[in-house]
A and B are shown apart, each in its own frame.
Chain A
Amino acid sequence: MWRWVRQQLGFDPPHQSDTRTIYIANRFPLNGLYTPQKFIDNRIISSKYTVWNFVPKNLFEQFRRVANFYFLIIFLVQLMIDTPTSPITSGLPLFFVITVTAIKQGYEDWLRHNSDNEVNGAPVYVVRSGGLVKTRSKNIRVGDIVRIAKDEIFPADLVLLSSDRPDGSCHITTASLDGETNLKTHVAVPETTVLRTVANLDTLVAVIECQQPEADLYRFMGRMIITQQMEEIVRPLGPESLLLRGARLKNTKEIFGVAVYTGMETKMALNYKSKSQKRSTVEKSMNTFLIIYLIILISEAIISTILKYTWQTEEKWDEPWYNQKTEHQRNSSKILRFISDFLAFLVLYNFIIPISLYVTVEMQKFLGSFFIGWDLDLYHEESGQKAQVNTSDLNEELGQVEYVFTDKTGTLTENEMQFRECSINGIKYQEINGRLVSEGPTPDSSDGNLSYLSSFSHLNNLPHLTSSSSFGTSPENETQLIKEHDLFFKAVSLCHTVQISNVQTDGIGDGPWQASLAPSQLEYYASSPDEKALVEAAARIGVVFIGSYEETMEVKILGKLEQYKLLHILEFDSDRRRMSVIVQAPSGEKFLFAKGAESSILPTCIGGEIEKTRIHVDEFALKGLRTLCMAYRQLTSKEYEVINRRLFEARTALQQREEKLANAFQFIEKDLILLGATAVEDRLQDKVRETIEALRMAGIKVWVLTGDKHETAVSVSLSCGHFHRTMNILELINQKSDNECAEQLRQLARRITEDHVIQHGLVVDGTSLSLALREHEKLFMDVCRNCSAVLCCRMAPLQKAKVIRLIKISPEKPITLAVGDGANDVSMIQEAHVGIGIMGKEGRQAARNSDYAIARFKFLSKLLFVHGHFYYIRIATLVQYFFYKNVCFITPQFLYQFYCLFSQQTLYDSVYLTLYNICFTSLPILIYSLLEQHINPHVLQNKPTLYRDISKNRQLSMTNFLYWTILGFSHAFIFFFGSYFLMGKDTSLLGNGQMFGNWTFGSLVFTVMLITVTVKMALETHFWTWINHFVTWGSIIFYFVFSLFYGGILWPFSDSQNMYFVFFQLLSSGSVWFAIILMVVMCLFLDIVKKVFDRHFHPTNTEKAQLTETNSSIKCLDSMCCFSEGETACASVGRMLERVIGRCSPTHVSRLWSASDPFYTNDRSILTLSTMDSSTC
């Protein structure tokens, strides 16, 4: 009982055993000893709320945010005690904010519900009680046998039982899970493959034992115990027999599978995890500012309360005859009164912390992030991919990056492998136009050989490739070479996991591949681009892999079909860094072909041209090519027996299977004979060098983190401009021990201090790095910080993340950005402040886990220098302005207390208090923060140095914040005392001698404030589109119209008619108009003077750059009327404006555009570095 409670409460995991036992088709054993395990149903629940808990749960979540909670408290205080403003003033905005958020979240949840329902209600066919039953997806139970037809998505994690193919295999694509588009072959256990009909399946009695659900998509361990003729057969189950929910069946008519994991326990569901919350620096400064304002607020309230009580000691102020207190007020306890007064002041001044700040910031981020996706410059035409924003919380962080960590393969390079060279048996060859040419002593009669192998279509007619004289001159050599080549290319075309797509036929089972199928029609699908390149290269040479059929692989060698029986695949893993296959040749000989990194193959070799190959491999690596070594081993049947047994044991083991497998693999992959090495080129992406150079000019340190070997990494680094030829390259590699590593580090540090003129580059490898990080973090960081480029090679994925964390927590707390494209980069993408995924060939896992995904590395420059810069400027101004405008708003209120005996009299009417932030001043800043471009984007991109102007959160530094706050205070003083002096001895301000009252005074202050605050925004705006004009002047006009309207009616349901005709009276006074102009000018005067002097005395680089481009700007009036490129929606307004202004002739518009067209073309040649004046940086 107790245990049950604990389970329900989640203290104990519900499943105690390590394995789950599944009775296929839920045929439980008949003896009563069995207690069935409970499994959850197949319902996928991604939604957060139900109809019933939406309101409480959503409210609870919203009020967990500090700001919302604060406003709730204020609201409650207003409800409880007698406060100067009605609870509506803070209740309404809060209600608005909460409602908008709730609607948004509710809508999103409704969408999730819909998709859940769609998924859960999808029809599936389940084998039950001897027949095929159509049911809904959510009704699938663990143990059900499910039938899936071609191109359907698996509704649960299934263990494949049988397919319509005799070998029980099927093809699936897991594109929606990990983005890998290649076809994967999954196979069933031989005993069940024959059960291809429902009736047959009904006879199956079997039990699956497998591990409990886990998130790893590529791990599955289990076994199937099949009872056949009273005999139990045990079969291992691995990931190759598990069909994951979300994957799609391909090339196979139908399959049967048994559900093992359902619902939220499927691997897809377990992999669904909410994004980690990353917070931007701006958000952190915002919170600091909030605390400062909270302190200001509380101290203002305390000062007011204290002063109130000093005043109240004298009865003539406290209770003059004309203003007597009630008995209740007189008799209430002093302390209580003090507290309630304090709270009342708190309520009175609470607007200094703007509730709308959060809403506006969120809207700005959400709406603003669309511009990234819309940007044509970030659109990659070849792949049709546009930039993708996964989180809009970090837009401004793009403008703050100090460290860029980039993966190499697929990020800096295309990850489009091209076979370039190979070394076969110690001789180097180069592929030129589809044929191999020996390097070294070049044969002079090369032209005669060109006819060979020059065209794929003639492949079938070709004589053996080695008849080319390139390979040798003497005939006796030739045969020898033929054999070596044969083996080499056979190894290449057999040792892989490449699939072939066959769109024409439904299944490979329809028949063997037709010989007429030209290789150009073959399309290979591989999970690794290296493999694909190699198989393609082999095909070009003449050894064409045609496909695997059941357990045979078919290879056409110069037109001659050969069938190899595939006995075992020892899959690739990143620890072994190699893979092998065991095949049986047509002759009956059994071979093991191994392929892998040279560091993992060469030590296991006992024969072949090891030394020569090693030299060649190093040469390849120096050219920046990716190398793989091929080796083989001929197995005697006795050896094979041993191997077979060990493999079977390891594969069926339930405990420590991986360990056992690794041991078995190690046992098998030994005594190899080296065949040679391949070299594959991974082309650099477009404009990588320029981008890295630009990043460096922007003051960003670029680190390359790669799993590649040292030489390859260095050469790529050099070719992509990460390392310069002039750089002094320091190395920290192959460190074996702690002490050695420390010594080396100290030595490097010395070299850096000795020689600080030259730029330094540092190369570290994974093992040395882990040593350095373990004990000598500080020393290592010192060295790193002094290097302008750092290259880390041989890195494991987690090491990449660790390096980033190390930089992140270093004393300067720099902002880091990680770019990567593969699953191995996910950890670093998630670790960095900003994670960028490259939507590349290695699936979409990186892109899905990233904050932003782009198609090419070169887009990084626009993303950072233009978008990042803009977003930063926009949001920084937004934050500063928000605090400023609320200081302006509330300070007069505070000052007024000095003149009303601290009685908490409000200066403004409740409606104005409520609408100030919501209506009157919200739009200009929002539009500004969406559209502002303080400098032309192409200037930003061409001058990366401008990026330094905003580094280290400069716009939100304390000085800037103080400036804005003091500006706010001084403006508030001007509004208040300006109006105060205007009243003077309270002479009449009206032409008819009548008098104003307190509400008129408040309206005057408010009007001046509104205009000043709006015009201040206008001063900040550098980019005046028609929208800016519209909202800026529109806001002021709206205020006037609203006030006249609001004051023009006696509102029937309002109990106070304080504002009736107040605004109208205010505007009917000439003095007031003059005073408004005077105060607005006075307020802005200071700011303008400061701006002009700043610009002249210490212009930032940005300001200098602004000057140079002003000539290309357009006039104010043009921006107001020439707002569209013939968009019809705005045409009528345009015509109207045209009539009104009379200068917007169409020719005017078009001329304007043609003039600026070259300026804005999309394929602008970015980063013309030569024109950049390096003297400025």
Chain B
Amino acid sequence: MTWSATARGAHQPDNTAFTQQRLPAWQPLLSASITLPLFFCAGLAFIGLGLGLYYSSNAIKELGYDYTGNPGTGDCSLCGVADQDRAPPPSCRCAWNFSLPELFQGPVYLYYELTKFYQNNRRYGVSRDDAQLSGLQSALRHPVNECFPYQFSAKGVPIAPCGAIANSLFNDTFTLWHQRLPGGPYVEVPLDRTGIAWWTDYHIKFHNPPLVNGSLALAFKGTTRPPNWPVPVYQLSPDPNNTGFINQDFVVWMRTAALPWFRKLYARIRQGNYSAGLPRGNYRVNITYNYPVRAFDGHKRIILSNISWMGGKNPFLGIAYLVVGSLCILTGFVMLVVYIRYQDQNDEAEDQE
């Protein structure tokens, strides 16, 4: 008898909260009474943040100059005309003169900007060998197939660094000169060319191959430079910490941009007298014009900008916050009105019933 009783109980489902689908649960409802305060609060918060962001972005100063050299656009047009053929074009020099009426708050960053340059083209983007760039010996001699047609030179020598990205390394150079007093001499403003690449890229991801007899050149023996480069990779800079694959310009370039217009950090101005910014006065940027962009209707710009905690000058965030915030409040009001009127109608309807 007892046995049958337990047997019967054995079939009985467990009476637990889970099996009976009555786990304790919070059951929120998106009713107006909850969403209305939420909307107002969110709206106010967003407007507040928006204002903050907007002013923070507005405080950032940006100064730019298009030196593509389209005919009639100034000093660089001579160079621009020369740049009709494919790379490498003949070297050409031009300058950008500007004056600052007041202190350009530091630290100041020097960017170059390219447009209509598709670093995000897939064929371009895959044309690199990360193993080679990390200094792996085997990869140095045998670049991956993605690098083709910049994998081996015509003679069959492996190219280091291989691939289209490396081959198209931006090679214009800039120097900044400051004229303290009108008519005075131009003094070169020191440009800090370090710290422009991501720390991890520079220190970990990119490595030179191990030195042979203390010489980087020997380490790269048996490879050749990319066809567009005037110098091999180990001569990118005289500074041994900034040459080869860990040349910072190179590292910066190798981080391909998301959109067909992009800026890349060229240098930081933070040394000597210029650590607080660029003082007032006349300035000149001497440009070595090497990089051809007119072939694909591109533009080159040079930009001086200072930076806040949120980066460069971009009013989008502030405006967007303001818009969304106002929308929230507006919707809140509409809803409030609707809610009240609807409530009245409801009451009436109930009264009629």
Interface residues of A (CB under 8 A from B): 84, 316-317, 320-327, 370-371, 373-376, 379, 381, 384-386, 899-901, 903-906, 931, 933, 936-937, 978, 980-998, 1000-1002, 1019, 1022-1028, 1050, 1055-1057, 1060-1061, 1064-1065, 1069-1071, 1074-1075, 1078, 1081-1082, 1085, 1088-1089, 1091-1093, 1095-1097, 1106-1107, 1110, 1113-1120, 1122-1125, 1127, 1152-1153, 1160, 1162, 1175
Contacts and interface: CB of A to CB of B under 8 A. Distances in A.
B109 to A, nearest CB: 4
B201 to A, nearest CB: 8
A323 B168 contact: yes
B258 A1078 contact: no
Which 9 residue pairs across A and B have the least CB separation, nearest first? A987-B312, A1001-B258, A322-B168, A374-B19, A1119-B26, A998-B258, A989-B311, A903-B122, A997-B255
A414 B262 CA distance: 80
Contacts of B113: 985-986
Interface in B282-335: 292, 295-297, 305, 307-314, 316-317, 320-321, 324, 327-328, 331, 335
Interface stretch (B28-36, B97-105, B214-222): B28-36
A327 B148 CA distance: 10
Nearest to B197: A994
A375 B308 CA distance: 61
Contacts of B258: 899, 983, 986, 996-998, 1000-1002
Interface in B1-20: 7-8, 11-17, 19-20
Contacts of A1001: 258-259
A312 to B, nearest CB: 11
B200 A374 contact: no
Contacts of B149: 324-327
Nearest to A370: B19
A1070 B309 contact: yes
Contact of B295 (A320, A1088, A1127): A320
A1096 B339 contact: yes
- Choose among A986, A998, A1097 the residue with the greatest number of B CB atoms under 10 Å from its CB: A986
- Choose among A320, A385, A1089 the residue with the greatest number of B CB atoms under 10 Å from its CB: A320
B175 interface: no
Contact of A1092 (B21, B260, B261, B335): B335
Interface stretch (B67-75, B124-132, B182-190, B230-238): B124-132
A719 to B, nearest CB: 31
B295 A321 contact: yes
Contact of A905 (B7, B86, B120, B328): B120
Contact of B262 (A316, A986, A1056): A986
B78 interface: no
Contacts of B305: 987-988, 993
- Choose among B26, B297, B321 the residue with the greatest number of A CB atoms under 10 Å from its CB: B26
B302 to A, nearest CB: 14
Given A901-B121, A1057-B130, A1069 B311 contact: yes
- Choose among A321, A903, A1153 the residue with the greatest number of B CB atoms under 10 Å from its CB: A321
A1113 B35 contact: no
Contacts of A1078: 46, 317, 320-321, 324
Given A986-B263, A1119-B26, A900 B314 contact: no
Contact of A322 (B122, B167, B198): B167
Contacts of B14: 374
18 contacts: A321-B86, A324-B149, A326-B149, A374-B19, A384-B12, A901-B260, A903-B124, A936-B27, A937-B22, A985-B314, A1026-B24, A1027-B23, A1061-B201, A1082-B320, A1092-B335, A1093-B335, A1115-B26, A1124-B17
B42 interface: yes
A1096 B342 contact: yes
B59 interface: no
A384 B8 contact: yes
Contact of A994 (B119, B198, B321): B198
B121 A1088 contact: no
Contacts of B195: 992
B25 interface: yes
Interface in B221-272: 252, 255-265, 268
B324 to A, nearest CB: 6
Contact of A1114 (B25, B134, B144, B353): B25
B51 interface: no
B316 A1055 contact: no
A126 to B, nearest CB: 36
B115 to A, nearest CB: 9
B259 A983 contact: yes
Contact of B122 (A327, A905, A1106, A1116): A905
A982 B13 CA distance: 56
Contacts of A903: 118, 120-124
A1152 B335 CA distance: 34
Interface string B168-208: 10000000000000000000000000011110110011000
